[in-house]
Amino acid sequence: KAGVTQTPRYLIKTRGQQVTLSCSPISGHRSVSWYQQTPGQGLQFLFEYFSETQRNKGNFPGRFSGRQFSNSRSEMNVSTLELGDSALYLCASSPLTSGVADEQFFGPGTRLTVL
């Protein structure tokens, strides 16, 4: 079974621009979560989508948004980029078989650099 894929793997943008990141979950997984990883803050939860609906959201400004398509693929958008948005953005999919603490399978991430 193919793992979680994320595109692009690397991205360089300038302040003020916007960016869209893509995530394809493992086949059959309906839950997709997004995280931001930085050296100082670690992994911080952005949001989670299940069946095209945002179920939960972390404490990030409205510049960060996402969506999920009917095939469970998900996109994340960051508008008006700031230098502090430079980070590794990780996508994780989950089968949600038991409903409690299901394992999350992470993709390799998209390394975003904002200049």
Partner 1 sequence: QKEVEQDPGPLSVPEGAIVSLNCTYSNSAFQYFMWYRQYSRKGPELLMYTYSSGNKEDGRFTAQVDKSSKYISLFIRDSQPSDSATYLCAMTLNSGGYQKVTFGTGTKLQVIP
Q: Binding pattern to partner 1, positions 79-98, x when CB under 8 A? A: -----------x-x------
Tell me: does residue 101 bind partner 1 (CB under 8 A). Answer: yes
3-state secondary structure of 111: strand
Neighbours of 15 (CB within 10 A): 11
Residues in the chain: 115
Tell me: does residue 56 bind partner 1 (CB under 8 A). Answer: yes
Tell me: does residue 76 bind partner 1 (CB under 8 A). Answer: no
**Cα–Cα dist 28/78, whole Å:** 27
Judged by CB under 8 A, the residue of 1, 2, 40, 62 near partner 1 is 40
CB 64 within 8 A of CB 70: no
Report the residue number, 72 or 110, with the smaller CB distance to partner 1: 110
**Cα–Cα dist 110/30, whole Å:** 21
Tell me: does residue 108 bind partner 1 (CB under 8 A). Answer: yes
Judged by CB under 8 A, the residue of 8, 16, 55, 69 near partner 1 is 55
CB 105 within 8 A of CB 23: no
From the list 13-21, 61-69, 71-79, 100-108, the region that binds partner 1 by CB under 8 A is 100-108
